[in-house]
Amino acid sequence: MTEIYGLTGLRPGAGFEKTVTCPPYDVIKPGTALESFLAANPQSLYHVVLGDAPVQALRELVGDGVLVRDEVPAFYVYEQIKEGQRRLGFLTSVAVTPYENKEIIRHEKTFEEKVRGRIKLMEDTGYVTEPVWLLTRAPIGQILEAVAAREKPAYEFTSDFEGASELHGIHNRVFRVEAGSPEGQRLIESIGPQPLYIADGHHRYHSALRMGLDRCIAYVCEAGAARIQAYNRVIRGKVSFSSIKEKLPLQKEESFRTPEKHQFALYTTEGCFSFKADYVPEDPVGRLDCHILERMLYPLLKLDHSMINDPACFDYFPEYELDAMRHLVDEGKYDLAVALNPVEPAELMAVADAGTTDPDIVMPEKSTFFAPKILSGLFLIPTSKK
């Protein structure tokens, strides 16, 4: 039985929802225009999740009324609209349970350094600061639609990050639903019988689990509402691409763009190329394009799995940042850029389901990029241990 609860803790004070909210910590890269923009805003949650003095920053946000306390348990139906695309989900707190309970199901590996960093932040501040994104097979869409059609939004604003984030320009509406209301009870009853699948935020959930927390913040939506972009990469091998390219079944291409399933698009200073998978295994992990790429390309470049988090060898970009990848290759920071076809929700859930019987079955790191992301800062909950 998967347990969810109404949220109590800190949420934006009236009029501060636009300035305090920010993209999740793991997409704010050091030295970028996005980081500079957020750092210049003293009211941004950025100063809590990535700043040098998170405890002081949180204290100031509360003292200035940017974040206010709300002790009445409630869910928050969260609507995001951009360029004609709309998604509905809801914010809640969810019971943190071991993976073997099969209530919260993971699909991806985690990096120990990131887990330790999130644990330290929670220990220092005493708060869970950002949500885990969870998918459900439960038919909750009708409940959420009814709330959005009838209720007045608690918050309504358009995110402004000066074009430096995929969350820029998204129109957000947030509706408060008390947990004891009929709609709140229907959400609890709908979610309970179904497992929840981690879409995004594996490090956030794993750190809550490792810390022994009772609950964490979650954003929940129907699996069919999730949109996954390809998670592409720029690479600098231990040997040059030009020295090994004859060993790949390359086709010359006119442009660098997202390829078909089980194909790979390459951008280099020598031009654009593509190649197809030599074969596609049947197992749910082996058939993933990111796994096929690692098998076919990385050994030729004298790279291995232990290096994938080394910025001297790899960096990762969502599908919409093909231009940024090209720029890094043109300026010589990386040797080539590789674009993949996005993972499908069915592929993700197949890996996750297989992993419930074998914990070694997980997706490779940097396999999926869910978009649009969930804004951080709409709710923070105090840490509480079991």
Task: Using a pLDDT cut of 70, give the percent of the chain over it.
Answer: 100
> Cis link prior to 372 (omega < 30° from 0)?
yes
- Least confidently predicted of 150-154, 235-239, 298-302, 342-346: 342-346
264: which strand partners?
Answer: 275
Domain with CATH 3.30.1760 in the chain: 230-344
Q: Is 268 left (phi over 0), alpha (psi -120 to 50) or beta?
A: beta
* pLDDT 10s digits, 89-114: 999 999 999 998 999 998 877 778 88
Chain CA centroid to CA 272, Å: 29
- Going through 20-98 in order, the beta strands assigned E by DSSP cover 67-82, 85-95
* pLDDT 10s digits, 324-333: 999 999 999 9
* pLDDT 10s digits, 279-328: 999 999 999 999 999 999 999 999 998 999 899 999 999 998 999 999 99
Dihedral of the CA atoms 102, 175, 71, 127 (nearest 10)?
60
Domain with CATH 3.90.1530.10 in the chain: 4-227+371-382
Architecture in CATH of 230-344: 2-Layer Sandwich (3.30)
Q: What's the angle, vertex CA 379, arms to CA 378 and CA 382, rounded to 5?
A: 160
**Sign of the dihedral defined by the CA atoms of residues 39, 367, 114, 218, in that order:** positive
Looking at residue 335, its pLDDT comes to: 97
Q: What is the token pair recorded at 43? A: 């009211």
Q: How many CA atoms lie within 13 A of 379 on its CB side?
A: 31
Per CATH, domain 4-227+371-382 is 3.90.1530.10: yes
